């Protein structure tokens, strides 16, 4: 007897069904992957299972915790079902335009629904962004945690299809498959299946079926995100390149109008009709086929979902006031719904007080005008609240107590509401704004307002900052009363100013006084490796209160209270490291057990060093590290040392090492910084996005007394790595000759000055001494000190002194393509993208009779 332990055990292994009519009409074998036979009746059950498993494995949530997701329906059904089986609650943020059937099904599975208007992704009230904010809030409130599934940019979604759906199709077709096609929602299904199939047979054609109104057709055919028309379909159609879509090996794309796709039971998402029309060759073509209800709204004749094997699930309503309750208000509502405001902080001085409130209020979803003001009513006190266009409230909610009024205690519950102008009563309103603010209404007299503006940039040092540090820094920076505003730094500023956390504009008034730091909440500034902000997220607030003096003619007039400004600190990776690709030993020690991090020992020694990298690895390596040997992962058909391998060889090596798509890689070597940049460059050339180098390598790690282990590398579970090779990163002999002859690119040699001039022998026998005529010499040793990359200023100086023009293209070279990686890393740190790395380097040039050689200085 075959018995499944629970509903999770029957996800996947869906059959392929021959589509007789389509196959007969075309002479092709067209197969449908029957994903409607999953217990939740859609392919999204697979993604849901992997998203939840991944979160549990990472400790983001525990049984009793909550899954939060923004979804058009099917992923929510899968998450609710899987979560229920694994002891997790589920909160779904869903566009209100989705079909009643989906919403009813989600409620029957016990999910709590937050319905929001359907707005573009760029809008802060898009359902995906609302779900992210909801997850953050629940994570703070639930002791068992809450995690944002983030199906669009969490590559565990894609991994589900790399490991299950794609291999199933390959297995069930016995490898006799010519093409695959489906639509894109999050992108995980198409990308994952495509990667799995392409890994097995690169010649398989991958197609994307896009509805009208989506932008993926344009993206895959022209490289531009453009959309035209509209569609009644639900759950598919994407307007941006998600993390799951990135790198998807799509060969062809089709745009399917409703009138064409709606005639087929498979629905537009299967893409069967355009593919069979445009591909007349005989082929076996699996499609993803789902029940029609998952794609068409109720008025189009969709059928109600039936959750086979899911068990009876009674509807459950969220408790009152839970998780930003959804409610829509229209013209008949005299005012917006009252909400509870909690006093979370109180500051008093000279009989006046400021109160920090935590509350959620209703606000307009659109149609507002800049400068519009509503009135916040808190405990009978009326206070103005400004709004901006599209109803995105910028000003903080402020509760001001008049001098002499006793401040309420922390924890006091107050009643709050906002009355907006009358025209807002005709607009749809919804909740979702979580506000914290502080104001100190101190009386001030005299003075005049200055107009000078200055910009303040402050960095978070490697050691981090505590509250006293921040207080002192702000007082030192500002030093007097000022009106402080804040804005996010731009990407350009971020690249130009590594470690920049926040930019503030300050308009100081004339006179004396201080800008006071009122409160810091949730501050968590632990140092990380690297110097660039690579990951963002609100991890703390600095509340700054500033009073602007009002002028000499009203000396007895009390100043209007200045609003507290909330400075959102970005999660930073801030140290003195010169490259964003470097990670400190402290960072590695903190992340060593991170399941998605693979540590590689990429050690290599020159023949003259008389050292054995493999033997030294067995003797001592960083715990959990894998051995990456550039003399093994190479082109086996070349006589030159460690030449770049094919994508197939590289992917196979990654699979064996447990390096899959979405994994982070950190590489080190036994000399501090020698061969690790070569390994880093190889991964970057094959499309890896998160590959880093350990600053100082193994010597620094050991010198700090950090742990090592001996023996063979631990066995890791094989993973799929999809190579997306940047062929332009590899320069060959022809490229170098052309660059030297034309002068269009500079060739920079990383060998020692003595070898470059021909005064020292080459470490490999049979090579001439000297250099390529017209090349430049920047020894890699000039960029490395004590096994660490030197500062950006020293890197720039080294290239400038060698005569290299950093405004022109550069090809890096060395003895055998190893230390050329150090030059590449240094140039990258300066923001200069090299034109290529000469893979054969002097091992090729110096051995050929048809390549001229010069001696002496450059």
pLDDT single digits (tens) 360-370? 444 443 334 43
**Could you give all domains of the chain from N- to C-terminal order, each with its CATH number?**
7-38+156-300 (3.40.50.1100), 44-148 (3.40.50.1100), 339-435 (no CATH), 454-570 (no CATH), 582-725 (3.40.250.10), 728-845 (3.40.250.10)
DSSP helix/strand/coil, 171: helix
* Poorest-pLDDT segment among 225-234, 459-468, 520-529, 588-597: 520-529
pLDDT at 49: 93
Q: Kindly state the greatest CA–CA separation across the chain.
A: 94
* Poorest-pLDDT segment among 120-124, 396-400, 540-544: 540-544
Q: Where are the alpha helices (DSSP H) in 658-690?
A: 676-685
20-29: b or e for each residue (b if 16 or more CB lie within 10 Å)? eebbeebebb
Residue 386 has pLDDT above 70, yes or no: no
pLDDT at 235: 55
Name the residue among 542, 532, 536 with its Cα closest to residue 574.
532
pLDDT band, very low/low/confident/very high, at 406 (cuts 50, 70, 90): low
- CB distance 95 to 116 below 8 Å: yes
pLDDT at 121: 74
Active site residues per annotation = 44, 269
Name the residue among 119, 150, 152, 132 with its Cα closest to residue 55.
150
Cα 282 to chain centroid distance, Å, stands at: 41
Ranges of beta strands (E only) in 149-225 are 179-182, 205-211
The C-alpha atoms of residue 386 and residue 656 are separated, in whole angstroms, by 58
pTM, rounded to two decimals: 0.43
pLDDT at 510: 31
- CB distance 269 to 209 below 8 Å: yes
The C-alpha atoms of residue 113 and residue 96 are separated, in whole angstroms, by 10
Residue 524 has pLDDT above 80, yes or no: no
pLDDT at 668: 98
Residue 621 has pLDDT above 90, yes or no: yes
The C-alpha atoms of residue 567 and residue 229 are separated, in whole angstroms, by 41
pLDDT at 98: 79
pLDDT at 208: 86
Highest mean pLDDT of the ranges 97-111, 244-258, 498-512, 659-673 = 659-673
Site of tokens 């034109």: 835
Helix axes 74-85, 44-58, angle to 10 degrees: 50
Site of tokens 């509870």: 340
Residue 130 has pLDDT above 80, yes or no: yes
Length of the chain: 858
- CB distance 669 to 698 below 8 Å: yes
Within a 10 A sphere around the Cβ of 723, how many other Cβ atoms?
A: 23
pLDDT single digits (tens) 318-339? 222 222 222 333 333 333 445 5
Ranges of beta strands (E only) in 159-265 are 179-182, 205-211, 252-256
Q: Where are the alpha helices (DSSP H) in 27-126?
A: 44-58, 74-85, 100-108
The residues near 244 (Cβ < 8 Å, ≥ 6 apart) are 151, 152, 153, 154, 155, 157, 158, 186, 187, 188, 191, 192
Residue 457 has pLDDT above 80, yes or no: no
pLDDT at 141: 84
pLDDT at 818: 97
* Poorest-pLDDT segment among 154-163, 397-406, 531-540: 531-540
The C-alpha atoms of residue 744 and residue 472 are separated, in whole angstroms, by 52
pLDDT at 417: 56
Tell me the mean pLDDT in the region 141-156. Answer: 89
pLDDT at 649: 93
Highest mean pLDDT of the ranges 54-68, 231-245, 278-292, 751-765 = 751-765
DSSP helix/strand/coil, 413: strand
The C-alpha atoms of residue 641 and residue 131 are separated, in whole angstroms, by 52
pLDDT band, very low/low/confident/very high, at 590 (cuts 50, 70, 90): confident
pLDDT at 698: 98
- CB distance 657 to 633 below 8 Å: no
DSSP helix/strand/coil, 494: helix
Reading phi first (left if > 0) and then psi (alpha if -120 to 50, else beta), residue 711 is in: left
Starting at the edge strand found earlier in the chain, the sheet holding 810-813 runs 730-731, 836-838, 810-813, 746-749, 776-777
Highest mean pLDDT of the ranges 220-234, 257-271, 295-309 = 220-234
What are the CB-based long-range contacts (under 8 Å, 24+) for 59-65? 59/145, 60/145, 60/147, 61/88, 61/144, 61/145, 61/146, 61/147, 62/144, 62/145, 63/87, 63/88, 63/144, 64/88, 64/89, 64/142, 64/143, 64/144, 65/89, 65/142, 65/144, 65/145, 65/146, 65/147
Mean pLDDT over the full length of the chain: 70
């Amino acid at each position: 007897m075959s018995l499944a332990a629970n509903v999770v055990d029957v996800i996947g292994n869906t059959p392929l069904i021959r589509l007789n009519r389509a196959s007969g009409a075309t002479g092709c074998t067209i197969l449908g992957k029957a994903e409607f036979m999953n217990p939740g009746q859609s392919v999204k059950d697979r993604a849901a299972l992997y998203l939840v498993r991944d979160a549990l494995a990472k400790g983001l949530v525990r049984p009793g915790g909550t899954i939060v997701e923004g979804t058009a329906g099917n992923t929510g059904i899968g998450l609710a079902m899987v979560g229920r089986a694994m002891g997790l609650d589920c909160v779904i943020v869903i566009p209100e335009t989705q079909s009643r059937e989906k919403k009813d099904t989600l409620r029957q599975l016990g999910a709590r629904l937050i319905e929001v208007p359907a707005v573009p992704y760029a809008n802060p009230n898009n359902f995906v962004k609302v779900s992210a904010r909801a997850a953050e809030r629940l994570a703070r409130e639930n002791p068992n945690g809450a995690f944002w599934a983030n199906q669009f940019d969490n590559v565990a979604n894609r991994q589900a299809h790399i490991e299950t759906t794609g291999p199933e199709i390959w297995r069930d077709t016995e490898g006799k498959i010519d093409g695959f096609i489906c639509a894109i929602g999050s992108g995980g299904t198409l990308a994952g299946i495509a990667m799995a199939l392409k890994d097995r047979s690169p010649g398989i054609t991958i197609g994307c079926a896009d509805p009208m109104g989506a932008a993926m057709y344009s993206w895959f055919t022209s490289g531009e995100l453009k959309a035209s028309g509209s569609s009644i379909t639900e759950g598919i159609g994407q307007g941006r390149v998600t993390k799951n879509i990135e790198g998807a090996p799509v060969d062809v794309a089709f745009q399917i109008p409703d009138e064409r796709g709606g005639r087929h039971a498979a629905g537009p998402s299967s893409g069967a009709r355009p593919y069979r029309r445009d591909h007349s060759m005989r082929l076996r073509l699996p499609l993803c086929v789902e029940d029609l209800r998952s794609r068409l709204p109720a008025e189009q004749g969709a059928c109600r979902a039936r959750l086979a094997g899911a068990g009876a699930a009674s509807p459950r309503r969220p408790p009152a006031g839970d998780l930003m309750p959804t409610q829509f208000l229209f013209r008949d509502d005299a005012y917006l719904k009252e909400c509870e405001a909690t006093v979370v902080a109180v500051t008093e001085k000279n009989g006046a007080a400021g109160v920090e409130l935590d509350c959620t209020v209703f606000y307009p979803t659109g149609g507002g005008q800049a400068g519009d003001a509503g009135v916040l009513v808190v405990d009978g006190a009326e206070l103005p609240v400004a709004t901006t266009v599209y109803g995105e409230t910028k000003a903080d909610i402020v509760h001001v107590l008049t001098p002499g009024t006793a401040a309420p205690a922390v924890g006091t519950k107050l009643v709050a509401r906002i009355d907006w102008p009358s025209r807002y009563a005709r607009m749809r309103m919804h909740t979702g704004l979580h506000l914290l603010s502080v104001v100190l209404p101190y009386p001030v007299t005299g003075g005049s307002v200055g107009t000078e503006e200055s910009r303040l940039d402050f960095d978070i040092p490697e050691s981090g900052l505590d509250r006293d540090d921040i207080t002192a820094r702000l007082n030192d920076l500002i030093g007097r009363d000022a009106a402080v505003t804040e804005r996010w730094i731009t990407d350009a500023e971020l690249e130009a100013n590594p470690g920049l956390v926040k930019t503030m504009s300050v308009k100081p008034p004339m006179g004396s006084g201080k800008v006071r730091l009122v409160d810091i909440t949730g501050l968590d500034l632990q140092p990380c490796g690297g110097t660039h902000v690579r990951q963002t997220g609100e991890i703390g607030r600095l509340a700054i209160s500033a009073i602007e003096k009002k002028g000499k003619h009203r000396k007895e007039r009390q100043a209007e209270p200045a609003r507290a400004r909330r400075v959102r600190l970005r999660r930073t990776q801030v140290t003195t490291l010169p490259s964003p690709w470097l990670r400190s030993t402290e960072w590695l020690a903190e992340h060593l057990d991170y399941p998605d991090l693979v540590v590689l020992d990429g050690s290599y020694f020159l023949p003259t060093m008389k050292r054995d990298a493999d033997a030294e690895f067995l003797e001592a390596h960083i715990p959990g590290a894998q051995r990456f040997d550039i003399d093994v992962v190479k082109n086996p058909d070349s006589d030159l040392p460690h030449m770049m391998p094919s994508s197939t060889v590289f992917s196979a090596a990654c699979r064996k090492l447990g390096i899959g798509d979405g994994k982070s890689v950190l590489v080190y070597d036994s000399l501090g910084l020698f061969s690790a940049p070569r390994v880093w460059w190889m991964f970057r050339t094959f499309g890896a996005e998160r590959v880093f180098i350990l600053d100082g390598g193994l010597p620094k790690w050991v010198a700090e007394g950090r742990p090592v282990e001996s023996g063979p590398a631990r066995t890791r579970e094989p993973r799929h790595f999809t190579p997306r090779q940047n062929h332009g990163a590899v320069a060959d002999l022809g490229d170098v000759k052309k660059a030297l002859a034309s002068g269009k690119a500079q060739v920079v040699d990383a060998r020692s000055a003595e070898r470059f001039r021909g005064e020292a022998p080459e470490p490999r026998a049979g090579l001439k001494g000297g250099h390529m005529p017209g090349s430049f010499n920047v020894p890699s040793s000039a960029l490395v000190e004590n096994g660490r990359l030197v500062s950006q200023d020293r890197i720039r100086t080294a290239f400038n002194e060698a005569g290299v023009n950093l405004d022109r293209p550069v090809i890096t070279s060395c003895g055998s393509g190893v230390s050329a990686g150090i030059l590449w890393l240094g140039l990258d740190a300066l923001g200069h993208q090299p034109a290529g790395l000469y893979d054969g380097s002097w091992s090729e040039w110096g051995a050929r009779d048809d390549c001229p050689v010069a001696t002496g200085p450059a």
